[in-house]
Amino acid sequence: MTNAPASPVAALSRSSATIVSSRWLFSRNVDLGAFGGSAALALALVLLGAIAGWLDSDSPEWTWIGSILLVDVAHVWATGFRVYFAPGELRRRPWLYGSTPALAWLLAACVYSESESVFWRCMAYLAVFHFVRQQAGWVAIYRSRSGDRTSTTRWIDTLAIYSATIWPLLWWHSQLPRAFWWFRSHDFVALPGWVGTLTAPLYACFLSAYLLRSLQLGVQHRRWNPGKDLVVGSTAVCWFLGIVALNSDYAFMVTNVLIHGIPYMVLVHRFQVHERESDRCVAAAESASTVDKIARKRHSLFSHWYWFLAAVWCLAYAEEYLWDRGVWHERPWLFGTAWQIDLRVWLVPLLAVPQLTHYLLDGAIWRRKSNPAVGEFLAGR
């Protein structure tokens, strides 16, 4: 990692020529591993499932552990290391970070007390919005890193990534019931069957336009953007395969979760590394108090990938332990027998707080204009 700029303003005001020198978000190897590796793993698991006959049967338990527990739930808790386990960040916006979990619990409790089905439908659509917006966010960051400010590229990128995500969802809504669902069966509203068919040509058109624009920039102007192409291509392939081409709970789970959760955890960890380097400089100052130095040392501990993964996996297990023993009762071999007392009216809204907090804060904590450290990090470190 190169040295950080002297200030966020200096980072954000770099010339386009400087930014173009690096078209990768983290580095070539890390980007290929995070985006390409997660997609390749998902496709390999689909192939394995086809060979083993899992596409038309219940998913093996180990796939739930690998995909849901260690990636999906774990990446939700990774937000905590960006905010709640980062002393400096927590002090910077205490009102936002303190009120969000409280508001999430209040809203969840109110909705769940009125209707369990409405609660899970709201959760499903919040999750869908979050998944779609994250893929669009990756594309926007890569475009910014390349220095391409043209409105043509921006429009084509936007239409392509939203087509790659929203059209498979429209198809799903128009083909209900499917063999899979987001959280629970019937959590989506059914649309007429013609909706998916009628919008398919737009889907093909927008993705084709992206391909042609990418070839034009690469061949004619030597302005390839391999990271952005990888995000758009892997999203289009995995979402189409997992939602449209295959009617399989197993295929949907591995294609949907891995390309979403793995890159996000990489982002949080790489930002932890960036913050550790910044903390070393600040902690060396004589004015830093003993308490601040201890807090920074604890925060920097999780910039080591093995401690970071161990922490989010332990938190994910603890959450799923409570979900299974108090609500789902599906895996006694992993979490123990169900509790005899019904605590769902209290437990479900409480356990939804980490996920809702992740959804609500994700749009704020990575916004470069309101987060100087993020702007410095994403501008080229």
State pLDDT tens for residues 87-113. Answer: 888 999 999 999 999 999 999 999 999
**2: in domain:** no
**261: in domain:** yes
- Banded model confidence at residue 8, pLDDT cuts 50, 70, 90: very low
**65: in domain:** yes
pLDDT attached to residue 372: 87
Q: Say whether pLDDT at 145 is over 90.
A: no
Contacts of residues 41-47 at CB distance under 8 Å and 24 or more positions apart, as own/partner, are: 41/254, 41/258, 42/238, 42/242, 42/254, 42/255, 42/258, 42/259, 43/237, 43/238, 43/241, 43/255, 45/254, 45/258, 46/241, 46/242, 46/246, 46/251, 46/254, 46/255
**3: in domain:** no
**1: in domain:** no
pLDDT attached to residue 380: 60
Which candidate, 365, 366, 374, places its Cα nearest to that of 96? 365
Residue for token pair 């889907």: 203
C-alpha separations of 259 from 37, 133, 145 in Å: 9, 13, 21
Torsion of Cα atoms, 221 then 206 then 182 then 46, to 10°: -60
State pLDDT tens for residues 47-59. Answer: 999 999 999 988 8
- Banded model confidence at residue 368, pLDDT cuts 50, 70, 90: confident
Task: Report how far residue 353's alpha carbon sits from residue 105's, in angstroms, rounded to the nearest whole number.
Answer: 6
**141: in domain:** yes
pLDDT attached to residue 43: 98
C-alpha separations of 49 from 57, 233, 261 in Å: 10, 22, 20
Residue for token pair 């907090």: 357
State pLDDT tens for residues 195-239. Answer: 999 999 999 999 999 999 999 998 887 889 999 999 999 999 999
**241: in domain:** yes
- State which residues form the domain around 305: 8-378
**Which of 117-121, 143-147, 348-352 is least confident?**
143-147
Residue for token pair 């993964």: 309
User: 0.85 exceeded by the pTM?
Assistant: yes
Which candidate, 179, 287, 334, 306, places its Cα nearest to that of 242? 179
Give, to the nearest 10 degrees, the angle between helix 353-365 and helix 116-146: 30
- Banded model confidence at residue 18, pLDDT cuts 50, 70, 90: very low
Residue for token pair 């910044």: 278
Q: Say whether pLDDT at 263 is over 70.
A: yes
- Banded model confidence at residue 373, pLDDT cuts 50, 70, 90: confident
Alpha helices per DSSP H over 220-288: 221, 226-239, 249-283
Residue for token pair 């927590």: 90
- Banded model confidence at residue 40, pLDDT cuts 50, 70, 90: very high
Q: Say whether pLDDT at 381 is over 80.
A: no
pLDDT attached to residue 114: 95
pLDDT attached to residue 301: 60
Task: Report how far residue 79's alpha carbon sits from residue 243's, in angstroms, rounded to the nearest whole number.
Answer: 27
% of residues, the chain, pLDDT over 70: 87
**189: in domain:** yes
State pLDDT tens for residues 297-345. Answer: 545 566 688 899 999 999 999 999 999 999 999 999 999 999 989 999 9
pLDDT attached to residue 103: 96
Q: Are 21 and 379 in contact (CB under 8 A)?
A: no
Domain count, the chain: 1
pLDDT attached to residue 291: 47
- Banded model confidence at residue 293, pLDDT cuts 50, 70, 90: low
Q: Say whether pLDDT at 294 is over 80.
A: no
**Chain mean pLDDT for the chain:** 88
Task: Report how far residue 82's alpha carbon sits from residue 322's, in angstroms, rounded to the nearest whole number.
Answer: 24
State pLDDT tens for residues 243-258. Answer: 999 999 999 999 999 9
